[in-house]
Structure 1
Amino acid sequence: MQINVDRGAARASGMKRKSGNRVLALGLAIAFAAPVHAAKDPGAAILPPRANSSQQQAPAQQAPAQQQAPAQQQAPAQQAPVQQAPAQQAPAQSGALAPVQKTQVNSQAAYERLLNNSGVTVQWLWSAQRGKLNAIDDNDVVRLEGTQANFEGTLKIKGEVVSIDSDRFVFRGTILILDAPDKGRRCERTGDYEFKATGKRKYWRLQQMESCGRLTDYVDVFY
């Protein structure tokens, strides 16, 4: 009987140890399970990642650059044609003759003959008398103006003398022939022309004889 009591006590103590171990194991299981339940708690607040906020703001910064680029490229193209206006003013002064400042006299005898000339003619006016050619010295500039005219036509000459030599002079001005040798003809020339005396002739003859319609005009100034 002594032996049975000891065995019963041993069994009782063994059961107590097993129950204590179970309680300890259960406590540890609860302790480890607590963080898991806390992490899975649906009520916990979850903050959005910062990387998403930077990705959403990136397109907003590119918009101003796309709107300003075309405006800067189109502005110079509208101003380019304004610089072409001054090029249209060039031909305004063409054809003008410079006035003679002073007649260059290289022969005093020829100078006096010209001032005291005996008239001007063109060969087309066969029956006309010599036209009168006025020659004056106006402040060292010799000026000529004369006309020959009848029913056959008209010759007019007006201008200044650039220079006078012993056998020639240079005239700057206008020579006009009307209705000679044919009615309706008009031959007008303006510029510098040379009149020259040759041999024993008592006149200076225009050297640029052909000007209009390939006709030869003998314009002579007599002395």
Structure 2
Amino acid sequence: MQKIKRLLFLCVILMGSIATYAQQTKEPAPFVLREGKHNLTLQWVSWNQPGKAVIKKKKDGTYSIQGEQRGADNAGFVTIDGVLKVVSAKELEFEGTIRTKDNSINGGEVCEKKGTYHFLAKGARKYWRLQEMENCEGNNVVDYVDIFF
């Protein structure tokens, strides 16, 4: 009887170890972006009146994004048009065009960025922020382009 109890005890330990190992080796599910309208902001335009960006999943697993925020006077704006690739829940890779404009910077001219850029959500933030944020003016002027969850 003692041998059977020991054998059962070893089986329980072994089964628990196998279950723990299976859970540890399981890869996490990939992060999925919420499709639909997301708030989009540029600090020069407004923090309180966000624009909208529409995100749609594509067949290849990437997402299209297109949107804009315009100021009340229609002089300042941000537009975004391109493709997002999910790197993680906190990081997005963007390829496309981002245009910003505010009369008080860059001589009032449009700052256009074309290419590959990165958006990160740091800490407890509820948005991804463009990391290549230097405005075309230079001189440490930055554009905070944010896409909200």
After TM superposition, the score normalised by the length of structure 1 is: 0.47
Q: How many residue pairs were aligned?
A: 116
Rounded Cα–Cα distance in structure 2 between residues aligned with 1:171 and 1:144: 9
The structure with the larger Rg is 1
Q: After superposition, what is the alpha-carbon deviation per residue over 1:20-71, rounded to whole angstroms, capped at 9, x for unaligned?
A: xxxxxxxxxxxxxxxxxxxxxxxxxxxxxxxxxxxxxxxxxxxxxxxxxxxx
Please say if 1:134 is aligned against 2:57.
no
Equivalent residue, structure 2, for 1:219: 145
- Sequence identity (%): 35
Rounded Cα–Cα distance in structure 1 between residues aligned with 2:46 and 2:78: 12
Please say if 1:149 is aligned against 2:70.
yes
After TM superposition, the score normalised by the length of structure 2 is: 0.69
Rounded Cα–Cα distance in structure 2 between residues aligned with 1:131 and 1:211: 20
> Aligned Cα RMSD in Å?
2.2
Q: After superposition, what is the alpha-carbon deviation per residue over 1:112-133, rounded to whole angstroms, capped at 9, x for unaligned?
A: 34x2563110000137611110
Task: Summarize the alignment of residues 1-223 of structure 1 with structure 2, pairs less than 5 Å apart.
Answer: 108-109=30-31, 111-113=32-34, 115-116=35-36, 118-126=38-46, 129-140=49-60, 141-150=62-71, 151=73, 152-182=75-105, 184-214=108-138, 215-223=141-149
Unpaired runs of at least 5, structure 2: 1-27
More contact order relative to length (CA 8 Å, sep ≥ 6):
2
Q: Flag the structure with higher strand content.
A: 2
Rounded Cα–Cα distance in structure 1 between residues aligned with 2:47 and 2:129: 19
What is the DSSP-based 3-state SS (H/G/I as helix, E as strand, rest coil) of the residue aligned with 2:33? Answer: helix
Equivalent residue, structure 2, for 1:36: none
One-letter code aligned to 2:132: Q
One-letter code aligned to 2:145: V
Rounded Cα–Cα distance in structure 2 between residues aligned with 1:107 and 1:142: 17
Rounded Cα–Cα distance in structure 2 between residues aligned with 1:154 and 1:196: 21
Rounded Cα–Cα distance in structure 1 between residues aligned with 2:41 and 2:59: 27
CA 1:135 to 1:107, structure 2 compared with 1: closer, same or farther past 3 Å? farther
